[in-house]
Amino acid sequence: MCIRFSELVFFKAMRSEDVDTFIFSWLESYPKAQVIPATAISLGAKRGHLIYVCIEDDNKNLNIALIRQGAFPGGAMIDAIDYLRATGMASKSEQLPRRIMPDDKYKAFLKQVMSAEMEAKQEYKGIWADKYKTMREEEGIE
């Protein structure tokens, strides 16, 4: 069965134009990759949950690879808990998300995200290339 990745995941964040190709290539290179649940958000009794995930094959991580490639800004990888805290919406939320991944593993993941983003910026990869400068400015991404 063939499923298009873009049908499974919605990214609102700015993205480079080659994201789907990169994801398919990565998944072909790491066929034993597994989905690792990170955070769950309840959508209500009838709607289930929205789950933030990492996709990993041993010490290789698709999420980190996407940031290192410049496919997304690093902020696209923070989970709903950190997003609600950063935007001040945590106190307004009726049901807070629940982190499934151990906090220490999540914090290590975020450190890798920051490092990967710095690398992509230094090498002008993906969204950090000059051709995306206007879009970055419009989105308020430095």
* Assigned token pair, 115: 């490092």
Nearest to 106 by CA among 62, 66, 53, 65: 53
Q: For residue 96, what pLDDT is reported?
A: 76
Tokens of 20: 């789907």
The predicted pLDDT at position 124 comes to: 97
Per-residue pLDDT of the chain (142 residues; tens, 9 = 90+): 233 333 334 446 788 999 999 999 999 999 999 999 999 888 777 777 788 999 999 889 999 999 999 999 999 998 888 888 887 776 665 667 889 999 999 999 999 999 999 999 999 999 999 999 999 999 888 7
> Which tokens hold the place of 23?
């994801």
CA angle 69, 1, 64 (to 5 degrees): 20
DSSP 32: T
Write the DSSP string, 86-108. Answer: HHT-TTT-SS--EE-S-HHHHHH
Q: Per-domain residue ranges for the chain?
A: 9-129
Question: 9-129 sits in which CATH class?
Answer: mainly beta
Q: Residue 50's pLDDT is what? A: 83
Q: What is the pTM of this model?
A: 0.84
Q: Is 62 exposed, middle or buried (0-12, 13-18, 19+ CB in 10 A)?
A: buried
